[in-house]
Structure 1
């Protein structure tokens, strides 16, 4: 009751379902726009972190943090080798204690920003002439190690929508000493792009490789519901213009 467990994978699903729930309220309770926007950005951010985890779980961190983690891994291997020969030597710490310290350090480290991760994962962010048949862009078996952090075909429309919504989310979360209003007419179309992006993350398979069949089904249903709800609202916007 008083403990809440979260991971990037569960966070993406929870935020997506919350976005759908809040979007159903916006016509009668305008405050729901705030929570629909923030939960949409939370879902995208969690999906990107999950997609970048890699086989060592460090892809979403900055380069310095990744280097430190890999150094720790090499140190672990060295300690394990020595400890197997010197079981009682106090100079070699317990591997479990080392692991716990590392996990605490991970919680204190900052991951890349949402927009940096989005740029990193987008196919169209590669330099002109990049080899799209190379190891990071070829078709892969769903959920295999080769899909870790793989590039996906993020459209310019998705990038614009997510960038805009993230900026709006930051203004909503970081309260300023002013009164202001937001024109929400462009939000439904952008939430449609968010739904399409999350569908890409689902199809790529790596980000949500730990989902149970029931969780994967829930995610797919929520993506379709978000797309349908945002589309219906966008049609109403178009009808009033």
Structure 2
């Protein structure tokens, strides 16, 4: 058997998550399970974009917990005089609510180029936190239970996420490694996500 590999990175993963959300839309009206994958793809794109935006040239510093940031900075300092220095055994990213708070700050981009933070209102922040804490976590760690999920707000959720990612794209730092064609493709996908008409399930799907 020939070993098969694919190669990706954090920016390609964000772009791929947006593409996957778009791919799910034609299935939504007839397959209730497709909503899970559309929503997880949107969540993945948002979280990944925040990481891309915050991470500095001293990757992965910028999107890490406070303790893990200290561990990585200590490693970089030791590495200057000790080539055998070992990096921290794990990378601990901030959770999505904390990532969102961080990107809202001025000069939050990894190169500190943005004079204003990414625009996310208090109501949007609360909504995105709820999606993360209740919907995403339940989908990822599905308990043995029946569950009714209101999906009528998902189109608005998609538009909010598309707007946030578009702002990060315009700031420039987060997706600098995608190249001109990759950034243009991501912009087109975000525009499509913004304008998309989402089919709603019929009453029999509830």
Q: Distance in 2 between matches of 1:175 and 1:206?
A: 35
Tell me if the contact between 1:9 and 1:211 (Cα under 8 Å) persists in the aligned partners. yes
Q: Deviations over 1:1-49 (max 9, x none)?
A: 7323332211111111101111232122222111000000000011011
- Residues 149, 163 of structure 1: CA spacing in aligned structure 2 closer, same or farther, 3 A cutoff? farther
Give the corresponding residue for 2:198.
233
Give the corresponding residue for 2:204.
none
The structure that has the greater radius of gyration is: 1
Give the corresponding residue for 2:173.
206
- Residues 7, 185 of structure 1: CA spacing in aligned structure 2 closer, same or farther, 3 A cutoff? same
Q: TM-score, normalised by structure 2?
A: 0.84
Q: TM-score, normalised by structure 1?
A: 0.73
* Residues 1:177 and 2:144 aligned together: yes
Q: Give unpaired runs (5+ residues) of structure 2.
A: 202-206
Give the corresponding residue for 1:120.
102
Q: Give unpaired runs (5+ residues) of structure 1.
A: 80-94, 124-131, 138-142
Q: Deviations over 1:214-238 (max 9, x none)?
A: 1101110110111111xx238x79x
Provide the aligned C-alpha RMSD in A: 2.6
Tell me if the contact between 1:22 and 1:33 (Cα under 8 Å) persists in the aligned partners. yes
Give the corresponding residue for 1:16.
18
1:62 to 47, 65, 68: 65
Bigger drift between 205-214 and 32-41 goes to 205-214
Q: How many residues align?
A: 197
Q: Deviations over 1:151-183 (max 9, x none)?
A: 222233532442233231111111112112212
Once the two structures are superposed, the pairs formed by residues 136-155 of structure 1 within 5 Å of their partners are: 136=107, 145-147=111-113, 151-155=117-121
Q: Would you tell me which structure has more helix in proportion to its own residues?
A: 1
* Residues 1:111 and 2:76 aligned together: no
